[in-house]
Amino acid sequence: MGFGKEFIPIYQSHPNGGQIAICSRTQSVLDDLADQYQIPKELCYTDWREMIKNPDLDAIHVVTPVFEHYPMVMASLRAGKHAACTIPMATTIQECRDIVDAAKRADKVYMMMETALYTREYLYVKKLHREGKFGKIQFIRSDHTQNMAMDGWPAYWQGFPPFLNGTHALSPVIDLIGKRPLSVVAHGSGRLSEDRAKRYGLPFAGVTATFNFEDTDVVAESTR
């Protein structure tokens, strides 16, 4: 369990929180976290499929590699749980639609946990916007750049198409404009090494996209 463990104390300290269960494939990691956060052994799992069967758990928060998001979220919703998941929601439009439909059928809440919307920097900008300090917005530009080739990133990130995981850059823009995107035009820039370009069939090191939105003349430009 990597990034996921950061949420344990958050949930434990929340005034509306209840019992917390955790899941990790690695038993030693699970044992260490159980000791550190005083989580009962019966609420520690090495198999997420067993975890979602627990009738006492109301919600599942998925913090796993990207390609596991969709099946885990779908299974959680089908098990009658509210579901939250780290970004991205999924990797195809159809998968996103499936999740929306599954949440409606189950009458449960799904949330994509976009952390960029809750940083102190963005919340401050949002406050200034609400107070009218920026005047009328005419254009927005955003970017979120990361070097996924650095040590410490899982191998599957190398060559990963930038806008399959573009929500850090785009979500604050959509939130500020407050409208649904209608169309997008994207341009790739730079070149990956041949081995990384072959992995997902996209050669670009970065992508810049412009978005039009419903009921507004404002255009947004976002780079990932």
pLDDT tens for each residue of 5-23: 999 999 999 999 889 999 9
Q: What is the pTM of this model?
A: 0.89
| pLDDT at res. 148 | 77
pLDDT tens for each residue of 64-92: 999 999 999 999 999 999 999 999 999 99
**Token pair of 44, please?**
């520690």
Q: Which domains does the chain have, with CATH numbers?
A: 3-114 (3.40.50.720), 116-223 (3.30.360.10)
Question: Given phi > 0 = left and psi -120 to 50 = alpha, else beta, which region is 24?
Answer: beta
- Render 181-220 in DSSP notation, one character per residue: EEEEEEEEES---HHHHHHHT---SEEEEEEEETT---EE
| pLDDT at res. 158 | 87
Minimal CA–CA distance to 139: which of 223, 218, 222? 218
- By the 8 A CB rule, do 166 and 222 touch? yes
- Render 91-110 in DSSP notation, one character per residue: SSHHHHHHHHHHHHHHT--E
pLDDT tens for each residue of 131-183: 999 999 999 999 998 887 777 788 888 888 988 889 999 999 999 999 999 99
Distance, CA of 6 to CA of 29 (rounded, Å): 14
| pLDDT at res. 152 | 78
| pLDDT at res. 82 | 98
DSSP class of residue 86? P
The band of 117, judged by pLDDT with boundaries at 50, 70 and 90, is very high
- By the 8 A CB rule, do 186 and 211 touch? no
Distance, CA of 139 to CA of 177 (rounded, Å): 10
The C-alpha angle 161, 220, 117, rounded to 5 degrees, equals: 75
- By the 8 A CB rule, do 14 and 23 touch? no
pLDDT tens for each residue of 196-206: 899 899 999 99
The band of 106, judged by pLDDT with boundaries at 50, 70 and 90, is very high
